[in-house]
A and B are shown apart, each in its own frame.
Chain A
Amino acid sequence: MNAIKLKNISVKFPIQTIKSNNEKKSLFDFFKTTPEKSFLAISNFNLEINTGDRVGLVGLNGAGKSTLLKVMAGIYAPSSGSVITNGKISALFDLSTGFEMELNAIENIKIRLLFLGFSKNEISILSNNIINFAELGEFIYQPIKTYSAGMFLRLAFSVSTSINPEILLADEIIGAGDHIFARKAQQRLKEFMDDGKTSVLATHSTELIHAYCNRVIWMNKGSIIMDGNVDQVMPAYLAGSK
């Protein structure tokens, strides 16, 4: 079964030009159906990811990895094409992913779980799990704007992996944090993958790819250059993108 199926996906971004103080022009632009200039971040992309696949996304900066992940997560709507996903998705993108800086960790966890659609009972159980896993100590009562990068990682990682997702999408963050948390995080990822769940990790770390992935997709300029197992794609990518 396909966990994620992308069919003829294209994602266009309007190129934001700095408009002068000419109000007429910006109003005029609004009524145009297609923006003057646009950037094709993903073009005619077809991809099937099977349940249980552990996909690594590689490619140079600007290849479209993050955009592709956001399309899979349902955050960006593709300009054309269709996205079909099967299973609950958890996304681990930036560290501060949608957290409210003024609130403390407990409140943020609660709001996150609420909009993910959990019930009251589930929330109280899950938030305990998250708090225990993150090991933030007394800081869970502090507004998260005071957090360090490592603390953000602990919180974000704990939230995204504690909600029992079937598909985990992660963008370039696993591997931060101190060695103690890193070990815990790796352990959790292993369990997640051993359960036959699907993951897509965008990363520049060859190590991570070798440790976690059984399939690698090499992207460049919004298209797939190569798709295959780790031993095929990684040498080609490292050699080809020099």
Chain B
Amino acid sequence: MQTFSTSPMAMLQSFIKNKSLIYQMSKREVVGRYKGSMMGLLWSFFNPILMLIVYTFVFSMIFKARWPGVTNNLEFAGILFAGLIVYSLFSECVSRAPSLILSNVNYVKKVVFPLDILPWVAMGSSLFHATISIIVLLGFMLILSGSLHWTIVFFPIIILPLLFLTMGISWLLASLGTYIRDIGQGIGVIVMAMMFLSPIFYPATSFPESYRILFYLNPLTFIIEQSRAVLLWGELPNWQGLGIYFIVSLVIAWLGFAWFQKTRRGFADVL
């Protein structure tokens, strides 16, 4: 029986060693999602566009939400969408995490499979959808204002720490969710709460000051604000904040991975 290393190096090595498997499985998952539908992969394109339309209509026409300094409804849609892209990337992975092992019992009980890559596979397919959404957003911005800010090149650097944070949480939840099935039930509400406690639909400044600490404790807040800064407003990233965030998220990723590795031997007993 192999022992599973919990070192930070093992976390990266496992990714590098299995990268083509991760790629194949993510691809399969993306294609599989649209399998049998007539428009197929085109749905990955239509979905974000339709989402953009629905959110714009609901929040600007019905709720009359306003962003300070933004008068144009279309511009508001862009702000909303940028926030939602970042949020979806996180929420898709995290809400699926508790059921990852449960839905792949074969990989636990029948074969020797690198189980720790399952969260990476979920991440791969979410990243694909996020990329399509970003393209839609940039296309939308281009039509709206006729040009794009050069600072969009920093966007991947801003997303990177979020990826590690998401992976850490996913590893933890994938393991916990296998032992305690209640986690899978509760995670949806928590993830939704994180949506409303982040500056997606309204700016941080309109959040009551006494509760604003909650807002900034939400790890999505910083990334969403930074993403908007580089994508929409042509501002440079907050390098210092990003650096600290990155270090913390690496530590969280490693802790999640270590927990997963420590507990995975027991999966077969509870499935």
Contacts and interface: CB of A to CB of B under 8 A. Distances in A.
- Whether chains A and B associate is yes
Interface of A: 13-14, 23, 27, 30, 70-71, 73-78, 82-83, 91, 93-94, 96-100, 102-103, 107, 110-112, 114-115, 117, 120
A14 B270 CA distance: 8
Interface residues of B, number: 28
Contacts of A83: 1
A107 B24 CA distance: 9
A41 B83 CA distance: 53
Given A71-B1, A111-B24, 5 more contacts: A14-B269, A75-B109, A91-B111, A98-B107, A102-B32
B180 A93 contact: no
Q: Which of A30, A114, A117, A120 has the most CB atoms of chain B within a 10 A radius of its CB?
A: A114
A186 B112 CA distance: 26
Contact of B21 (A73, A91, A96, A111): A111
B28 A120 contact: no
B13 interface: no
Give 3 nearest A-B pairs by CB, closest first: A98-B111, A114-B21, A77-B265
A117 B17 CA distance: 8
B24 A110 contact: yes
A77 B268 contact: yes
A94 B25 contact: no
A82 B166 CA distance: 35
A30 B268 contact: no
A162 B21 CA distance: 19
B113 A115 contact: yes
A97 B110 contact: yes
Given A71-B1, A73-B112, A74-B2, A98 B180 contact: no
Interface string B102-115: 00001111111110
Contacts of B2: 74
26 contacts: A13-B269, A27-B182, A70-B109, A73-B112, A74-B2, A75-B109, A75-B110, A76-B268, A77-B265, A77-B268, A78-B1, A91-B112, A96-B106, A97-B110, A98-B107, A102-B35, A107-B28, A111-B21, A111-B24, A111-B25, A111-B28, A114-B18, A114-B24, A115-B18, A115-B21, A120-B20
Determine the main DSSP class of A at the interface with B: mixed
A46 B190 CA distance: 49
Contacts of A99: 106
Contacts of B21: 111, 114-115
Contacts of B67: none
Nearest to A114: B21
A234 to B, nearest CB: 30
A74 B270 CA distance: 17
Given A98-B106, A102-B32, A103-B28, A75 B20 contact: no
Contacts of B180: 27, 30
Contact of B112 (A14, A23, A74): A74
B110 A94 contact: yes
Nearest to B114: A115
B140 interface: no
A65 B17 CA distance: 33
B162 to A, nearest CB: 27
Contacts of B24: 110-111, 114
Contacts of A96: 106
Contacts of A107: 28
Nearest to B22: A114
Contact of B110 (A93, A110, A111, A120): A93
A78 B182 CA distance: 27
Contacts of B182: 23, 27
Nearest to B3: A77
Q: Which of B110, B114, B265, B270 has the most CB atoms of chain A within a 10 A radius of its CB?
A: B110
Contacts of B155: none
A73 B113 CA distance: 11
Contacts of B106: 96-99
B259 interface: no
A88 B113 CA distance: 14
A74 B28 contact: no
B110 A98 contact: yes
Contacts of B107: 98
B179 interface: yes
B217 to A, nearest CB: 26
A171 B187 CA distance: 39
A34 B244 CA distance: 40
Q: Which of A76, A93, A111, A115 has the most CB atoms of chain B within a 10 A radius of its CB?
A: A115
